[in-house]
Structure 1
Amino acid sequence: MALVRSGGCNCGAVRYRAAGNPTRTGLCHCQTCRRETGSAFMTFAVWPSDAVRVTGETSQWTSSTDHRTFCLSCGSTLFSSSDGSNEIEIRIGSLDDAPSTLTPQYELWVLRREHWLSALQGTDQFEGNRDGAKV
């Protein structure tokens, strides 16, 4: 039987199930992710779009080419997708079970990482997005 992870928003109005393991996991320090989470960074895991099923009423906010999806009732941000992509980037803090097995493999926008945060050991470090220069 394939592994299925479930999660959802704070109020329970939106639920999702992600089948299998994510294709990659990461951590982002960009300004948009910081504002979205209200934290110094955001952690996520990426699944193929066809591996994720969502129930409940959601809305989206679009920033450049990213579509960030949240619960219409409580405002919890759950995932995002990009134009032309067949992937969904799930916020691992929205998973029902602690994401202890989903260790980030890379960090994005390390130029914006707070001075009081250390680089994650053993991960790829990118100045900006993943398609940009590694540090």
Structure 2
Amino acid sequence: MSDTIRRTGSCLCGGVQFEVHGAPLRIGLCHCKDCRKASGSVYSAFAIWPREAFETTGIVSSYGTRSFCPTCGGRVAWVDDNEAEVMIGSLDVAPTDLMPEYELWTSRRETWLHALLGTEQFEHDRPTANAAELPPPRPLSDAVAGD
């Protein structure tokens, strides 16, 4: 992906709009309780950009680290000093070319969902260590059989 890529998105009512520029740092799926409750779905699909690549307009409310539109309740982003996490479903153009690279909280994945082929599988949170220090991902055959 090129750094010149510009993607736009919004909440459900359009009162909060955002833009992200360039390639995301990483793309994933999460099955944790917080993502399930916040989305109302059995997992969330998201992409994370550097904080400086994210811009927003409109008024947002927040609950913990999650921001949302106070009018429609639509999730906008999770933003800290370094990164901005955007739900892939909130982007204006669908389908996108954003393919998940990993799954989080697979220990909570529904039994009728299978591991996404070709992705790293993490039973809980993704380790934050330097990638060179990370243990190798579980083989996909173990992730499917063990979860």
Same fold (TM over 0.5): yes
TM-score by length of 2: 0.83
Pairwise CA distance, 1:81: 3.0
- How far has the Cα of 1:99 moved from its partner? 4.1
Q: Indicate yes or no: 2:19 matched with 1:17.
A: yes
Matches within 5 A, 1:42-81: 42-62=44-64, 67-81=65-79
Flag the 1:120–1:90 CA change in 2: closer, same or farther, 3 A: same
3-state SS, counterpart of residue 36 of structure 2? helix
Q: Is residue 123 of structure 2 the alignment partner of residue 127 of structure 1?
A: yes
SS at match of 1:16: strand
* Cα RMSD (Å): 1.6
More helix by share: 2
Q: Distance in 1 between matches of 2:123 and 2:30?
A: 10
AA matched with 1:96: D
User: Percent identity over the alignment?
Assistant: 47
Give the 3-state SS of the residue equivalent to 1:50 in structure 2: helix
1:114 is the counterpart of 2:110: yes
Q: Secondary structure in 2 aligned to 1:93?
A: helix
Aligned to 1:91: 87
1:127 Cα shift?
0.6
Q: Which moved more, 1:91-100 or 1:3-12?
A: 91-100
Residue type of the partner of 1:75? G
1:6-56 Cα shifts (integer Å, max 9, x gaps): 000111100001011111100000001000000000000000111111000
- Structure 1 segments, 4+ long, off by >2 Å, are 132-135
Query: Letter of the aligned partner of 1:74 in structure 2?
Result: C
Unaligned residue ranges in structure 1 (runs of 5+):
none
Gaps of 5+ in 2: 129-134, 139-147
